[in-house]
Amino acid sequence: MRRVTVITCFTLFIFILAACADTTTSPSSTSNSTTETPATSIQTNSIPGIAGTGTFREYPLPQTNSGMMRPVIDHEGRIWFGEMGHNYLAVFDPATQTFRQVTPPHGQNGIMGLLVAPDDTIWFAEQYANYIGHYYPSTGKYQVYGLPTLTVPDPGDATRRLELPSAPNDIALDARGNVWFTELNADSLGRIDSHTGVVKQFPISRDRSVQKLNPYGTSVDPRGIVWFTEASGNHIGRLDPSTGKFSFFTMSGPTDPLMEIASDAHGALWITSFSGGLLLKLDSRTGKFTPYYIPHSGNESGGMYGLTISPGGEVWVTVTSDNMIARLDAVASHFILYRIPTVSSLPLGIVMGADHTLWFTESGKDKIGMLKP
């Protein structure tokens, strides 16, 4: 019997909130090789938002019900993304304004995170099929790295056991060519040595747990430290690959489902939350959290999701609940807001091109969007 993961695609985000309301993580559940920082209190006042000016263009996909998540951009300016609704790995070429869709091997409609390697090959996490894929656009060939299957008690029937995928979700590359990824069900981080193909698991909890922590987003900072969010709690986790040691940074206050995470050039971490319009900054040296609450419609069941940082340090996010792209001006202490022309577009992932153009997925309307601020 196959059971889907707790957190999967955008159609299940409402269940993130329900899961977070019932799940807590205590310091005692962390690995033997961990440190835990004291909880940091944060205030919940929003900062102003001003309307920005820019040019939008939108490109409809060939089909509806695409189920797009996170885009990435290669060195030729092409936009790559997964289509969970059609089991495609897809690419959009702005130069020709054409889409191309390919079907990954043994795919099960589960492509979530992607990254572009320096050689313009594409790595991706196939959450349902339980593997990390490596696609070579020049040849059309794939390399697949399978992940462990978990056997757990069936919560609905004590006499049965379920088999679950590890459920890889987000994916990041370090300077040595290692591919790092979060595993939602396995409560672990994984690493693939791209030179040898060796896969290594890093369990986050001391007692191997399943579907308790929900490690979601991941990023590698300039020092090679691996960071990740836990969607089931207020933890930001850090793994030092040289020692295998985990550290955790914890916010106090209401539990917010933490989503994407990115490191800027100075090593600060930026994190989006899928409720309350919260963008977080974590100073990796001091452990201090700085919250930035965006003005929003008051829809507490939604918030920010996608996150990208420009080469110049600008922080851009998708405001999924309010159909906007936003940039934080931390110096002036306000957000600059860009409302997407198509209503209810459900913007999720976002990436910046070499010409400072922003590309984003409109999962609610099956479009690739472009913003030139």
pLDDT at 363: 97
First to last CA, the chain: 49
Q: Are 197 and 183 in contact (CB under 8 A)?
A: no
Starting at the edge strand found earlier in the chain, the sheet holding 88-93 runs 72-73, 79-83, 88-93, 98-102
Taking CB atoms within 8 Å and a gap of at least 24, the contacts of 321-327 are 321/277, 321/296, 321/297, 322/277, 322/296, 322/297, 323/347, 325/350, 325/358, 325/360, 325/371, 326/49, 326/294, 327/52, 327/373
Q: What is the CA 311 to chain-centroid distance, rounded? A: 19
So what's the pLDDT on residue 205? Answer: 84
Global pTM value: 0.89
pLDDT in tens, the chain (373 residues): 333 443 444 334 433 333 333 333 333 334 445 666 655 545 556 889 999 999 999 999 999 999 999 999 999 999 999 999 999 999 999 999 999 999 999 999 999 999 999 999 999 999 999 999 999 999 999 999 999 999 988 888 989 999 999 999 999 999 999 999 999 999 999 999 999 999 999 999 877 778 888 999 999 999 999 999 998 878 899 999 999 999 999 987 777 789 999 999 988 999 999 887 899 999 999 999 999 999 877 655 458 999 999 999 999 999 998 999 999 999 999 999 999 999 999 999 999 998 999 999 999 999 999 999 9
Confidence (pLDDT) at 15: 35
Structure tokens at 333: 């202490």
Burial of 259 (0-12, 13-18, 19+ CB in 10 A): buried
What percentage of the chain's residues is helix, strand, coil (to nearest 5)? Answer: 5, 50, 45
Alpha helices in the chain (DSSP H): 13-22
CATH topology of domain 10-372: Methylamine Dehydrogenase; Chain H (2.130.10)
What is the dihedral angle through the alpha carbons of 142, 219, 176, 193, rounded to the nearest 10 degrees? -40
Q: Which pLDDT does position 170 carry in this prediction?
A: 98
Q: Which residue has the tokens 């579907």?
A: 211
Contact between 299 and 321 under an 8 Å Cβ cutoff? The reply is: yes
- The three-class DSSP label of residue 148 is coil
